[in-house]
Structure 1
Amino acid sequence: MLEVLNTLAVMPFPDIDPVAFAIGPVAVHWYGLAYVAGILCGWLYARRLAANDALWPQDRSPLTAAHLDDFLLWVAVGIVLGGRIGYVLFYDLAAVSQDPMRAIEIWNGGMSFHGGFLGATLAMILFARRNGIPVLSMFDTIAAVVPFGLFFGRIANFINGELWGRISDVPWAVVFPTGGPFSRHPSQLYEAGLEGLLLLAVLAFLVLRWKALKWPGFVAGAFVCGYGLSRIFVEFFREPDAQLGYLAFGWLTMGMVLSLPMVALGVWLMLRARKSAA
């Protein structure tokens, strides 16, 4: 009887075509639109932060709208290249070593957030130094807006029926088309809520109410720490990558291993920023 009730409680997977629309032979996927939406929202929000001198040290913004316009291309390249290279190195190296062409076959696997994070970080450092912008303030600006991209990206993961969660009988479990006949945690939506909406709200509070941009490095640290903690939590509900499985103890995943240093780095950045401001 319990199995019947659990089956009735399972949410059906929404029948959403991964292709949002097509113009002739060109198909536009929701995943691509998610990248565009995340970058666009982040760019608009960052321009508003940069325009408000009262939020920054000495009441003077170190960035201009022109800086942020130019940075769009830099960060897009950093995210895409870093995300793909990170996926290959962290999750698919064995397969790529057997077939090097697989590295450019983005339909075999996908993007790694941690790789995209490193790529975007490198882009920020190079851009800041090129334009005479304090690196930590550059980090803070971008960190404050990254949750937009995380939110839209995780929604796109859900629409694509990928990166689903572990088998579960919770009332909101979903049977994904690619996840076998089992009901699973919609872990993509958990991530959208935690890494996207909640983290965005926390960072906005720090920036707008605490004026945390006046402490260079603090907002970046809060983002890095907040993402790491959110990801570690969701990993307990997310199915580990099939080619890796659990690394140890029957629960430790690669996502957790890569997120632990982020938590430590985030805490260090926040402490450093507060000590420097004291």
Structure 2
Amino acid sequence: MHPYLFPWVLPSGVLEALAYLAAIAVAALVASWVAGPRKKPGFWPRFFVPFLVLAGVGATIVKRNAPFEPQPLPLHTYGLMIALGFLTAAHLAGRQSQRLAAVDGTAFFLPDSPVLARTRKEGADAVGRAARQHFLDLVLWIFVGAMIGARVLFIVVNWSGPDGYGANPARIFQVWRGGLVFYGGFIGAALASVLYARKHRLNFRAIGDIAIPGVALGHFFGRMGCISAGCCWGKVCSENFFLGIRFPEGALAYKEMLSDPAHQDYLLAHGHTPPLHPTQLYEGMGELLLFFLLLAFHKRKRFHGQVLIAWLALYAVLRLSIETFRGDWGRGMLFSWPADDPLLLSTSQTVGIGMLVTALVLYLLWRPKPAAAEAPQLAKST
């Protein structure tokens, strides 16, 4: 387990310089907003007066609080893996968008899209470039939606109890303490994608087919980060199981299991947890397999949205299965059955069942009509 790659520490002088730069940047942004469009006459006089005032105020605040205490700035392995997965997924989907749209513009845009009508006059390459640019813009919406959704669902699941967010509402905004749920992130990203697609007349179903293999790949990286961070651990497994993971003292699994009388003696005697099922590895490898399967299936799909539906169904089954091996009860349980070693029903299993139902409903709604079974259906609305 390696939660930190580099335990950097920022010295006082560097922190002070960064604080001054931040004050100048904020002053410039606010002054630019106050001054209005640059093309209008008199922009610079309108810019410099508020900029100098705000920069002076910011510099004064920094000066009064200096010198700063040196601060640790560790590079978290989990955060790095999340970023790596997100950027890799965005890059692959962006390239796929450009390639497919250059062949058939309706593989990304709706037939009545103004962007498609305009770029078609410039040639197929122009359509592809426009699709890639729109997808990169969509990535920002996806990121914001995913972060909000992942945080909101985590808060909802952990609302009750003396340590819950209901009793400690100030912790809701303490994002640096962690607390994200993949299902919530996916739901938030999906809602953001629908809004962006409606606004710009994009083919949401086709974009879902393009993006969803990247989601599977990005989630693989995320689960590898979970192993490094020591979260999302599994139940106790056999001592002889070659994949069993033992988390050291200080890890999240160690701390939570220490409160369980059944494990206290073992933990205190050995200084680490008993071997646990590597559920992070199970799910990560499952998502990696889904990534390759979805790429192959994309070439054989019969209608737009079919690849997205396939992932919804397959990942739901994967997650429902892996949840039975999870041992971190703090992730949220609607009820525990059986009571001594619960297999059902976690929050993620509930969402997984909802995903299976959603996949079935979408298939019935989006599948080709019998008369057009041999031709891919083009989405006419998002």
Residue correspondence of structure 1 range 1-278 to structure 2 within 5 A: 14=1, 16-20=2-6, 22=8, 24=10, 25-53=72-100, 60-62=107-109, 64-94=131-161, 95-106=164-175, 108=177, 110-169=179-238, 170-177=241-248, 178=251, 179-180=253-254, 181-194=273-286, 196-208=287-299, 210=300, 212=301, 215-242=303-330, 244-245=332-333, 247-250=335-338, 251-252=343-344, 253-276=346-369, 278=373
**Shift of residue 17 of structure 1?**
3.9
- Which is further off, 51-60 or 123-132? 51-60
Q: Is the 8 A contact 1:166 1:184 kept in 2?
A: yes
- Which is further off, 155-164 or 108-117? 108-117
In 2 relative to 1, CA 271–199 (structure 1 residues): closer, same or farther, beyond 3 Å? Answer: farther
- Which is further off, 91-100 or 110-119? 91-100
In 2 relative to 1, CA 188–55 (structure 1 residues): closer, same or farther, beyond 3 Å? Answer: farther
Q: Is the 8 A contact 1:217 1:273 kept in 2?
A: yes
Q: State the alpha-carbon separation in 2 of the partners of residues 223 and 193 from structure 1.
A: 15
Q: State the alpha-carbon separation in 1 of the partners of residues 213 and 104 from structure 2.
A: 16
Q: State the alpha-carbon separation in 1 of the partners of residues 176 and 277 from structure 2.
A: 23
Q: State the alpha-carbon separation in 2 of the partners of residues 131 and 228 from structure 1.
A: 30
Q: Is the 8 A contact 2:142 2:192 kept in 1?
A: yes
**Shift of residue 59 of structure 1?**
6.9
In 2 relative to 1, CA 242–32 (structure 1 residues): closer, same or farther, beyond 3 Å? Answer: closer
In 2 relative to 1, CA 183–86 (structure 1 residues): closer, same or farther, beyond 3 Å? Answer: same
**Shift of residue 171 of structure 1?**
2.5
- Which is further off, 199-208 or 173-182? 173-182
Q: Secondary structure at the match of 1:175?
A: coil
Q: Secondary structure at the match of 1:64?
A: helix
Q: Is the 8 A contact 2:226 2:232 kept in 1?
A: yes
Query: Unaligned 5+ residue runs, structure 1?
Result: 1-13
**Shift of residue 58 of structure 1?**
7.5
Q: Secondary structure at the match of 2:75?
A: strand
Q: State the alpha-carbon separation in 2 of the partners of residues 173 and 257 from structure 1.
A: 27
Q: Is the 8 A contact 1:52 1:61 kept in 2?
A: no
Q: Is the 8 A contact 1:228 1:259 kept in 2?
A: yes
Q: State the alpha-carbon separation in 2 of the partners of residues 137 and 56 from structure 1.
A: 14
Larger Rg: 2
In 2 relative to 1, CA 205–267 (structure 1 residues): closer, same or farther, beyond 3 Å? Answer: farther
State TM-score, norm by structure 1.
0.84
In 2 relative to 1, CA 56–150 (structure 1 residues): closer, same or farther, beyond 3 Å? Answer: farther
Q: State the alpha-carbon separation in 2 of the partners of residues 137 and 120 from structure 1.
A: 16
Q: State the alpha-carbon separation in 1 of the partners of residues 246 and 314 from structure 2.
A: 29
- The structure, 1 or 2, with the larger RCO (C-alpha pairs under 8 Å, 6+ apart) is 1
Q: Secondary structure at the match of 2:357?
A: helix
State TM-score, norm by structure 2.
0.63
Q: State the alpha-carbon separation in 2 of the partners of residues 71 and 21 from structure 1.
A: 34
